[in-house]
């Protein structure tokens, strides 16, 4: 009996994509996902562009980094 139940479960798992498309489960899930995504997107807000400020800050930080200059090999 257990073997038969296992075989039925494997068959259902293997055929699930076709079964769900046939009974319309997939469309309902996609619609729910679209609604959830739209709700998440509606809660987003626009952040002001601070790219110029950021770039200047990075340049300042790079200029402040200590550097080590290697001495040139006189044989070259």
Is there a domain that residue 48 lies in?
no
DSSP 48: P
- At 14-65, the pLDDT tens digits run 888 777 767 776 677 788 888 999 999 999 887 777 788 888 999 999 999 9
Residue 32 lies in a domain: yes
Residue 55 lies in a domain: no
Total domains present in the chain: 1
Asked whether residue 62 is assigned to any structural domain, the reply reads: no
Domain assignment of residue 57, yes or no: no
75 is written with which tokens? Answer: 């044989």
What per-residue confidence (pLDDT) applies to 38?
92
Q: Coil, strand, or helix at residue 47?
A: coil
The domain of 26 spans: 17-41
Q: How much of the chain, in percent, has pLDDT values that exceed 90?
A: 34
Output the six-digit token pair for 35. Answer: 């609604």
Is 64 inside any structural domain? Answer: no
Q: Is residue 56 part of a domain?
A: no
């Amino acid at each position: 009996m257990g073997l038969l139940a296992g075989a039925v479960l494997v068959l259902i798992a293997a055929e699930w994509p076709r079964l769900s498309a046939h009974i319309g489960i997939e469309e309902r899930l996609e619609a729910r996902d679209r609604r959830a995504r739209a709700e998440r997107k509606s809660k987003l807000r626009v952040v002001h562009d601070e790219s110029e400020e950021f770039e200047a800050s990075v340049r300042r930080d790079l200029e402040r980094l200590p550097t080590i200059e290697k001495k040139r090999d006189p044989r070259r």
